C-alpha cells in the first residue's frame, strides 16, 4: 500500500512539474536574450524545487528527474566525492586515479581528436610558431680578460593572425577541454554566486562546438555536475542550465574536489589538444603541499594544466599559490568581485591561443664558456657537457618567455666576433600538430682591445634582469609577511625600489615594476593590510612577473598607477576581456 502511495505521489509531482513548465515567464520569451532566458529558467527551476521540497523532502531527486521537456537534456545526477576515512595521507588510492569512474565524455571529431594511445613518430619540421633570439648585456668585451656577463635567451610565439570571418576563427583556433571546479560553499552565497554564474555563462558563450566543458562544484563534498560536453548549442544549453542551478551551502574541501576535477581529465577517452582545470574558491582549506604535488602531477600526466583563482580577500592564498607554483601557471587574485567574468574570459581565451606545448629549450655554451646561473621559474637540468635544458609547458600566441642567464666568458687571444653559446628548441606546434626542431641560434660578442665595455647595457637585458630581481624581492617580502616580520619585508622592498629608481634605463617595464614594488610596500605595512587582501595581491604580482603570464588586464585597487598586466596579456585575451566588459 505504501509503495502505491509513493508511486501516486511521484506522478503528482511529475504532473505538477509539467503543468508549471507550460507557462512561460517573461524572461523565457522568444525575444529575451540568452542570458535572461537562462537566468529565468534557473529561477523557475529553483522555485519548483523549493515548493516540492517543502511538501516532499524525500522526493526532491525524483522531481528533478521529472522536469519538463526543455529540461530533459540536463546532465546525469552529480557524482559526489567526500573525504574517505583516513584521507590525510593522500588523495588518490590504488593506481593514483582517485575513486571516480567517469569515461562518459562527448566524442570529438576525428580531425580534432588526440587519442590517449601513443602515436607513431611524426616528421620533424624546422620552423613553427616559436622564434628564438639572444642578447648580451654588453656586446663588446675586452679580449684579454675574463668576464661574467648577463645574457638573454627569448622565445617569442607568433601573434594570432587577423581572421576575416567567424568561420575562419573557428577553423584556426585550438579546441580546448576545460573543467570548471567551482566553490559553492556557504560563503559564496548572494552576490558572489550570481557573479560566478555570469562568468561561467560568458565562458560557455565563448566556446565553439569543438570545445568541451565539464562543471564540478564543491563545498565539503565534490560533485561532477556535468561530463565533458561539446559546446554545440545543445551542449551550451545543458551547461548553462547546470551553472544556473548552483546553490551556495556547506564548507570547503579543495583536495577532494581537485581529485574529482582531475579525474574527469584523466579518464577522457579522447582529448582535445589543450586541456585545463579552473579552480575557483573563496575559502580556507587544510590541503597539504604533498597532496598538491600529487594532484598537480596527475594533472600533468593527464595533459592538462591547473589554474587557481582566489575570489575575494578571504581565500587561502598560500594553498592556491602552492598549486600555481607546482603547476607553473599564474595564481589570480580576484580582488574586485565584479571582474570575475573578465578574469575567466582572459583565462579561457589564453588557453584557446596555445601555440606550442612541451617546449624543450637547449642552451649550449661554446668552448671555454660556462653557464654560471639560469634565472627561470621553469624546470631546468644541467648536463655533463655543460649544456642546460629548460622545460616550458606551453606558450600562448604572442607570448614571450625570457630566460636570463649568467655566463662566464674566458679571455681570448684574438679580436672579432666570437660565439659564446648556441640555443635551440624542440616543441609541439599545437595547431599544426607537428613536432618542430628549430635550427641553432647563436649569441655573439665582439672581443676588442678597449679597456671597458662600449656603450650602454642592452635595454632588454636590463629589463629582464629587473623583472627577475623584483620577483625575488616580492618572494622574500611574502616570506617575511607570512612570519609577521613586516619591518623586514619593508627593508627588502625599499631596497628593490631604490635600485629601480636609480637605474639609468627608465622604460615602461621598469616603471611598471616600480609601481608593483610600491604597491607591495603599502600592502605589507601592517598585519591588517596583509590579511585583508595584501598577501593575495602581492602573491598575484609575484606569480605574474615570474611566469610572464596573466589572465586579466583589470588592475587591483591601488594608490599607485599599476600597469603590469597589460605587459603579459595577448591580443586574443584583450579582445575577450573587452567583449566581457560589454556583456
Q: The C-alpha cell of 89 is what? A: 595521507
Alpha carbon distance 56, 14 (integer Å): 12
Please report the beta strands in 188-339, taking only residues with DSSP state E, as ranges in sequence order: 212-218, 222-230, 270-271, 274-281, 305-311, 331-334
Residues sharing a CB contact under 8 Å with residue 506, sequence separation 6 or more, in sequence order: none
Mean pLDDT confidence for 133-142: 94
Residue with cell 551553472: 243
Residues sharing a CB contact under 8 Å with residue 94, sequence separation 6 or more, in sequence order: none
Per-residue pLDDT at 120 = 55
Category of 154 on φ-ψ map: left (φ > 0), alpha (ψ -120 to 50) or beta: beta
Q: The C-alpha cell of 495 is what? A: 631596497
Q: Which phi and psi angles does 429 have, rounded to 5°?
A: -80, 115
Q: Find out whether 352 and 337 touch, Cβ atoms under 8 Å.
A: no
**Domain positions in the chain:** 2-72, 98-111+170-352+571-581, 116-160+355-455, 461-548
**Domain 116-160+355-455 has what CATH class?**
mainly beta
Residue 15 or 354, more confident = 354
- Confidence label for 99 from pLDDT (cuts 50, 70 and 90): low
Alpha carbon distance 71, 73 (integer Å): 5
Residues sharing a CB contact under 8 Å with residue 271, sequence separation 6 or more, in sequence order: 113, 114, 115, 116, 177, 265, 303
- The burial class, CB within 10 Å (0-12 / 13-18 / 19+), for 580 is buried
Is 70 exceeded by the pLDDT of residue 67? no
Instruction: Lay out the sheet containing 331-334: strands in order across.
Output: 79-81, 222-230, 212-218, 176-183, 274-281, 305-311, 331-334
- Confidence label for 557 from pLDDT (cuts 50, 70 and 90): confident
- Confidence label for 54 from pLDDT (cuts 50, 70 and 90): very low
Residue 81 pairs in a beta bridge with 222
Please report the beta strands in 259-353, taking only residues with DSSP state E, as ranges in sequence order: 270-271, 274-281, 305-311, 331-334
SS3 444: strand
Alpha carbon distance 304, 328 (integer Å): 12
pLDDT digits (tens, 9 = 90+) for 246-302: 999 888 788 888 999 999 999 999 999 999 999 999 988 776 778 899 999 999 999
Alpha carbon distance 111, 25 (integer Å): 42
- The burial class, CB within 10 Å (0-12 / 13-18 / 19+), for 394 is buried
- Confidence label for 350 from pLDDT (cuts 50, 70 and 90): very high
Residue with cell 613586516: 486
pLDDT digits (tens, 9 = 90+) for 205-242: 999 999 999 999 998 778 899 999 999 999 999 999 99
What is the overall mean pLDDT for the chain? Answer: 83
Alpha carbon distance 158, 379 (integer Å): 23
Enter the CATH code of domain 461-548.
1.20.120
Is 50 exceeded by the pLDDT of residue 306? yes
- Confidence label for 48 from pLDDT (cuts 50, 70 and 90): low
Instruction: Lay out the sheet containing 147-157: strands in order across.
Output: 130-136, 147-157, 400-409, 370-375
- Confidence label for 181 from pLDDT (cuts 50, 70 and 90): very high
User: DSSP code of 241?
Assistant: H
pLDDT digits (tens, 9 = 90+) for 412-452: 888 999 999 999 999 999 998 999 999 999 999 999 987 66
User: DSSP code of 19?
Assistant: H
User: DSSP code of 250?
Assistant: S
Residues sharing a CB contact under 8 Å with residue 517, sequence separation 6 or more, in sequence order: 470, 473, 474, 493, 496, 497, 500
Per-residue pLDDT at 463 = 96
Is 80 exceeded by the pLDDT of residue 94? no
Q: Which segment of 94-103, 122-131, 154-163 scores lowest on mean pLDDT?
A: 94-103
pLDDT digits (tens, 9 = 90+) for 329-338: 999 999 999 9
Mean pLDDT confidence for 495-516: 94
Q: The C-alpha cell of 75 is what? A: 546532465
Per-residue pLDDT at 389 = 98
Looking only at the bridges linking them, the beta strands covering 270-271 and 354-365 are unpaired
Nearest to 137 by CA among 454, 539, 398: 454
The torsion angle over the Cα atoms of residues 500, 505, 509 and 513, rounded to 10 degrees, is 0
pLDDT digits (tens, 9 = 90+) for 354-399: 999 999 999 999 989 999 999 999 999 999 999 999 999 999 999 9
Residues sharing a CB contact under 8 Å with residue 220, sequence separation 6 or more, in sequence order: 82, 185, 250, 251, 252, 253
Nearest to 563 by CA among 535, 544, 582, 539: 544
Indicate the helix (H) or strand (E) that contains 362: strand 354-365
Please report the beta strands in 104-245, taking only residues with DSSP state E, as ranges in sequence order: 114-115, 124-125, 130-136, 140-142, 147-157, 176-183, 212-218, 222-230
Residue with cell 604533498: 290
566 CA to centre of own chain? 16
- Confidence label for 326 from pLDDT (cuts 50, 70 and 90): very high
Per-residue pLDDT at 100 = 67
Per-residue pLDDT at 68 = 37
Is 70 exceeded by the pLDDT of residue 108? yes
Indicate the helix (H) or strand (E) that contains 195: helix 191-206
106 CA to centre of own chain? 23
Nearest to 215 by CA among 204, 562, 460: 204
The torsion angle over the Cα atoms of residues 157, 158, 160 and 163, rounded to 10 degrees, is -160
Per-residue pLDDT at 119 = 52
Enter the CATH code of domain 98-111+170-352+571-581.
3.40.50.410
- Confidence label for 15 from pLDDT (cuts 50, 70 and 90): very low
- Confidence label for 60 from pLDDT (cuts 50, 70 and 90): very low
Amino acid at each position: 500500500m505504501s509503495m502505491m502511495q509513493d508511486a501516486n505521489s511521484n506522478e503528482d509531482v511529475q504532473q505538477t512539474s509539467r503543468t508549471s513548465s507550460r507557462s512561460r515567464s517573461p524572461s523565457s520569451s522568444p525575444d529575451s536574450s540568452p542570458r535572461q532566458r537562462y537566468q529565468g529558467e534557473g529561477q523557475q527551476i529553483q522555485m519548483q524545487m523549493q515548493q516540492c521540497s517543502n511538501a516532499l523532502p524525500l522526493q526532491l531527486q525524483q522531481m528533478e528527474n521529472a522536469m519538463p521537456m526543455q529540461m530533459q537534456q540536463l546532465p546525469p545526477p552529480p557524482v559526489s566525492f567526500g573525504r574517505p576515512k583516513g584521507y590525510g595521507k593522500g588523495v588518490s588510492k590504488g593506481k593514483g586515479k582517485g575513486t571516480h569512474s567517469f569515461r562518459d565524455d562527448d566524442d570529438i571529431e576525428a580531425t580534432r581528436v588526440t587519442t590517449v594511445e601513443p602515436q607513431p613518430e611524426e616528421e620533424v619540421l624546422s620552423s613553427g610558431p616559436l622564434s628564438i633570439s639572444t642578447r648580451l648585456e654588453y656586446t663588446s668585451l675586452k679580449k684579454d680578460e675574463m668576464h661574467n656577463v648577463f645574457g638573454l635567451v627569448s622565445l617569442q610565439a607568433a601573434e594570432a593572425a587577423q581572421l576575416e570571418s567567424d568561420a575562419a576563427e573557428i577553423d584556426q583556433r585550438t579546441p580546448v577541454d576545460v573543467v570548471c571546479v567551482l566553490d559553492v560553499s556557504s560563503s559564496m552565497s548572494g552576490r558572489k554566486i550570481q557573479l560566478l554564474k555570469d562568468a561561467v555563462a560568458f565562458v560557455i558563450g565563448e566556446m565553439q562546438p569543438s570545445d568541451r566543458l565539464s562543471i564540478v562544484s564543491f563545498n565539503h563534498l565534490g560533485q561532477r555536475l556535468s561530463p565533458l560536453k561539446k559546446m554545440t548549442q545543445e551542449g551550451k544549453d545543458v551547461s548553462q542550465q547546470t551553472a544556473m542551478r548552483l546553490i551556495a551551502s556547506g564548507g570547503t574541501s579543495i583536495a577532494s574536489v581537485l581529485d574529482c576535477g582531475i579525474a574527469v581529465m584523466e579518464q577522457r577517452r579522447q582529448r582535445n589538444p589543450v586541456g585545463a582545470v579552473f579552480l575557483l574558491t573563496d575559502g580556507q582549506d587544510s590541503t597539504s603541499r604533498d597532496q598538491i604535488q600529487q594532484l598537480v602531477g596527475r594533472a600533468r600526466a593527464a595533459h592538462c594544466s591547473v589554474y587557481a583563482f582566489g575570489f575575494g580577500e578571504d581565500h587561502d592564498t598560500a594553498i592556491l599559490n602552492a598549486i600555481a607554483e607546482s603547476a607553473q601557471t599564474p595564481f589570480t587574485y580576484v580582488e574586485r568581485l565584479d571582474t570575475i567574468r573578465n578574469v575567466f574570459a582572459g583565462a579561457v581565451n589564453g588557453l584557446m591561443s596555445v601555440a606550442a606545448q612541451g617546449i624543450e629549450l637547449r642552451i649550449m655554451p661554446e668552448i671555454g664558456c660556462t653557464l654560471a646561473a639560469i634565472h627561470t621559474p621553469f624546470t631546468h637540468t644541467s648536463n655533463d657537457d655543460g649544456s642546460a635544458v629548460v622545460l616550458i609547458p606551453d606558450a600562448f600566441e604572442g607570448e614571450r618567455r625570457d630566460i636570463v642567464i649568467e655566463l662566464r666568458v674566458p679571455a681570448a687571444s684574438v679580436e672579432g666576433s666570437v660565439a659564446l653559446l648556441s640555443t635551440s628548441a624542440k616543441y609541439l606546434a599545437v595547431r599544426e600538430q607537428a613536432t618542430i626542431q628549430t635550427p641553432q641560434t647563436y649569441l655573439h660578442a665582439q672581443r676588442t682591445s678597449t679597456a671597458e665595455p662600449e656603450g650602454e647595457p642592452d635595454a632588454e637585458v636590463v629589463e629582464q634582469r629587473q623583472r627577475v630581481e623584483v620577483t625575488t624581492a616580492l618572494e622574500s617580502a611574502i616570506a617575511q609577511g607570512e612570519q609577521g616580520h613586516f619591518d623586514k619585508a619593508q627593508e627588502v622592498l625599499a631596497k628593490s625600489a631604490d635600485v629601480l629608481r636609480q637605474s639609468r634605463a627608465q622604460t615602461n617595464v621598469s616603471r611598471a615594476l616600480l609601481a608593483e614594488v610600491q604597491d607591495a610596500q603599502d600592502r605589507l605595512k601592517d598585519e591588517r593590510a596583509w590579511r585583508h587582501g595584501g598577501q593575495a595581491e602581492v602573491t598575484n604580482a609575484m606569480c605574474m612577473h615570474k611566469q610572464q603570464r596573466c589572465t586579466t588586464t583589470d588592475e587591483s585597487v591601488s594608490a599607485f598607477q599599476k600597469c603590469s598586466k597589460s605587459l603579459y596579456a595577448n591580443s586574443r585575451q584583450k579582445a575577450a576581456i573587452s567583449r566581457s566588459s560589454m556583456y
